[in-house]
């Protein structure tokens, strides 16, 4: 299951938070993965927050994958409030879904 939510920041940047939920029969519950894409006012398409050309990229090399992902999200201007709101919506939808 995939849930997407877009937020417009004061700077004109649009943040798209994507939550993907995976049901794994051997584990209880749903495993989730959060992805963040950004689009600045003059850009046509969404893209990943930062890449290897970002001045702070050296910090990402020293972190594990999950920590690097969280740092990329923080650099993009997304607050925890945005992610928490999207996660709550996802959980609400997932809880109301019936799987046969």
Higher pLDDT, 70 or 20: 20
- What average pLDDT does range 32-40 have in this prediction? 88
Q: How far apart are CA 52 and CA 58, in angstroms?
A: 8
Please give the tally of structural domains in the chain: 1
By residue range, what is the domain housing residue 32?
2-96
Q: What is the pLDDT of residues 47-100, one digit of tens each?
A: 887 765 666 667 777 788 778 777 777 777 788 888 889 989 998 888 786 554
Q: What is the pLDDT of residues 2-19, one digit of tens each?
A: 899 999 988 899 999 999
Q: Counting beta carbons within 10 angstroms of the beta carbon of residue 68, is it exposed (0 to 12), middle (13 to 18) or buried (19 or more)?
A: middle
Q: Which two tokens stand for residue 46?
A: 């969404």
Higher pLDDT, 74 or 39: 39
pLDDT at residue 52, as a whole number = 58
pLDDT at residue 100, as a whole number = 46
Q: How far apart are CA 69 and CA 85, in angstroms?
A: 18
In this prediction the pTM is 0.76
């Amino acid at each position: 299951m995939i849930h997407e939510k877009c937020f417009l920041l004061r700077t004109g940047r649009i943040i798209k938070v994507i939550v993907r939920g995976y049901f794994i029969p051997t584990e209880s519950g749903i495993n989730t993965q959060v992805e963040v894409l950004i689009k600045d006012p003059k850009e046509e398409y969404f893209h990943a927050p930062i890449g290897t050309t970002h001045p702070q990229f050296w910090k990402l090399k020293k972190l594990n994958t999950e920590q690097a992902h969280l740092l990329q999200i923080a650099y993009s201007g997304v607050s925890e409030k945005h992610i928490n709101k999207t996660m709550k919506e996802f959980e609400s939808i997932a809880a109301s879904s019936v799987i046969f």
